[in-house]
């Protein structure tokens, strides 16, 4: 059974993915052994402001945006990644948001999409994913847009959004600040029926999910595969958005 799988792992600066060798996200597809490794550069398409960074001491990051106004960045698998049965997958990742200008903005998102590895959505409140479809995103939003309060319950929330629509279907506002510059941790699981999201200021996943949504991801994307990645953006206010680690896996 294990022979059917290609494993690679990511822990605190190493990007880890489990993909089926027989699927379109196979051994030459969405794989990386480290965020600054040659395989990461081959496996991920960087768009807009996104760049790989070496942080020193062997640590690496994927900087999605600098703290520059009205900027967007994205990074997606160069090929569609085959999901598990009924679209199942799990991802765990960590990120930082710092170097704030004015109030800091706008946030970072984990995205599955069926458009293109070059997909890049709108800056500002678009968080780099608005306008990408078909898609489903989990956003970590740090700016409340007063002109569209229905999009943003506050300046510190997590939301689930579909088809590049900035209006979150469900939201959760954590008790801790997402954008202190300290590392924040997130986990997203999909069992074929319910998408569950956990967020924490500690590296241990909480016992209870922060928010969840019943959704048919395969029907939403129109396929049991997706370009997998992350987006971020700034608006009139800005922050530096960095992905510090990620682990993506599928089962079937």
pLDDT of residue 40: 73
pLDDT of residue 247: 84
Nearest CA to 176 among 136, 142, 131, 216? 142
Nearest CA to 77 among 127, 112, 52, 37? 112
**Please, are residues 145 and 73 in contact by the beta-carbon 8 Å criterion?**
no
- Residue carrying the six token digits 């600098």: 66
- Give the count of alpha carbons within 13 A of 139, CB side only: 36
Distance, CA of 113 to CA of 11 (rounded, Å): 24
Q: Map 197-212 to HEC letters.
A: EEEECCCCCCCCCCEE
pTM: 0.88
**Please, are residues 157 and 179 in contact by the beta-carbon 8 Å criterion?**
no
Distance, CA of 184 to CA of 243 (rounded, Å): 10
Residue 38 within a domain? no
Distance, CA of 119 to CA of 47 (rounded, Å): 8
Distance, CA of 234 to CA of 146 (rounded, Å): 16
Residue 18 within a domain? no
Query: In the chain, where does DSSP find H-type helix?
Result: 38-43, 217-221
pLDDT of residue 69: 97
User: Tokens representing 100?
Assistant: 């704030």
pLDDT of residue 39: 74
Q: How many domains does the chain have?
A: 1
Residue 25 within a domain? no
**Please, are residues 126 and 111 in contact by the beta-carbon 8 Å criterion?**
no
- Residue carrying the six token digits 């081959």: 42
pLDDT of residue 205: 97
Residue 138 within a domain? yes
User: Tokens representing 29?
Assistant: 């597809």
Residue 155 within a domain? yes
Q: Domain range for residue 135?
A: 46-241
Residue 89 within a domain? yes
Per-residue pLDDT of the chain (252 residues; tens, 9 = 90+): 322 222 233 332 333 443 322 233 332 233 334 666 777 778 899 999 999 998 888 788 999 999 999 999 999 999 999 999 999 999 999 999 999 998 899 999 999 999 999 999 999 999 999 999 999 999 999 999 876 677 789 999 999 999 999 999 999 999 999 999 999 999 999 999 999 999 999 999 999 999 999 999 999 999 999 999 999 999 999 999 999 988 888 864
Report the CATH number that the domain containing residue 97 is assigned in CATH.
Answer: 2.60.120.200
Residue 248 within a domain? no
- According to DSSP, residue 130 is labeled T
Residue 149 within a domain? yes
């Amino acid at each position: 059974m294990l022979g059917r799988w290609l494993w690679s792992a990511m822990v605190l600066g190493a990007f880890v993915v489990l993909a089926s060798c027989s699927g379109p996200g196979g051994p030459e597809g969405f794989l990386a052994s480290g965020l600054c490794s040659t395989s990461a550069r081959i496996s991920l398409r960087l768009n807009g402001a996104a760049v790989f960074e070496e942080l020193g001491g062997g640590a690496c990051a994927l900087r999605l945006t600098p703290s520059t106004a009205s900027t967007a960045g994205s990074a997606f698998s160069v090929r569609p990644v085959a999901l598990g049965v009924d679209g199942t997958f799990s991802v765990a990742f960590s990120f930082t948001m710092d170097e704030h200008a004015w109030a800091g903005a706008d946030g970072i998102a984990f995205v599955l999409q069926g458009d293109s590895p070059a997909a890049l959505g709108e800056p500002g409140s678009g968080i780099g994913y608005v306008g990408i479809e078909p898609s489903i995103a989990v956003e970590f939003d740090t700016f409340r847009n007063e002109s569209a309060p229905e999009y943003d319950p506050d300046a510190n929330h997590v939301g689930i959004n579909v088809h590049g629509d900035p209006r979150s279907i469900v939201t959760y506002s954590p008790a801790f600040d997402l954008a202190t510059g300290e590392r924040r941790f997130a986990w997203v699981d999909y069992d074929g029926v319910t998408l569950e999201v956990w967020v924490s200021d500690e590296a241990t996943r909480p016992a209870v999910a922060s928010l969840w949504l019943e959704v048919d991801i395969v029907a939403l994307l129109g396929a049991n595969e997706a370009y997998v990645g992350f987006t971020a953006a700034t608006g009139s206010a800005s922050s530096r958005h960095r992905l510090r680690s990620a682990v993506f896996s599928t089962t079937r």
